[in-house]
Amino acid sequence: MTTLRSIGFTATLLLTGSGVSFAQDRLAKLEKPAANSPNEPLAKRFSAAKAVDFIDRASLHWQRSRECVTCHTNGAYLLGR
């Protein structure tokens, strides 16, 4: 049983590590979000994926352009991300 736990733990570490690397690569390539427009149509449905994409872009743009992580907002978000 201990061997199975060790294998499971090792597999989890390997898979988690590759996921972190993928996420870092993806985040490194993000550009700043598009400017908001008063003419932009209201979305018909909430999209969690679009919300995550926007906040990723906005947080990283703020950090990169100001060389500041804003510890209590973007910093906490990006650490969790």
Over the stretch 48-65, which tens digit does the pLDDT of each residue have? 999 988 888 888 888 888
- Identify which has the larger pLDDT, 18 or 80: 80
Q: What torsion, rounded to 10 degrees, do the Cα atoms 64, 68, 74, 75 define?
A: 110
Encoded tokens for 27: 């985040």
What's the whole-model pTM score?
Answer: 0.59
Nearest-angstrom CA–CA distance, 75 and 68: 9
Sorted by where each begins, the domain ranges of the chain are 2-28+46-80
- Rg of the chain over Cα atoms, rounded to whole angstroms, equals 18
Nearest-angstrom CA–CA distance, 74 and 66: 12
Given pLDDT bands bounded at 50, 70 and 90, which one contains residue 4?
low
